[in-house]
Amino acid sequence: MDILLFLGGIGWGEILVIALVVLLFFGGKKIPEMMRGIGKGIKSFKDGMNGADDNEESGKNKS
């Protein structure tokens, strides 16, 4: 929990600097591709978690 406490200190200035650094490193054309890939990864993770929940529930019903 202590790890998350430092996130409260991030202001708009820091977010702007981080965004500019990301833009400089990856360029404007790569950022949408990266965000799309991250979105697909998150969706896949959620689908996997939902599938794991479904498997656990079906296992309980079989007993």
Q: What is the pLDDT of residue 5?
A: 54
- Domain count within the chain: 1
* Cβ–Cβ under 8 Å, residues 31 and 23: yes
The whole-number pLDDT of residue 38 equals 92
Dist CA 3 CA 35 (whole Å)? 25
Tokens of 20: 């500019």
Report d(CA 37, CA 28) in Å as an integer.
15
Distance CA 2, CA 8 (A): 11
Q: First and final CA of the chain: distance in angstroms?
A: 37
Domain of 39, in residue numbers = 2-62
- pLDDT, averaged per 10 consecutive residues of the chain (63 residues), comes to 59 88 85 90 91 66 50
Q: Give me the pLDDT at residue 44, please.
A: 93
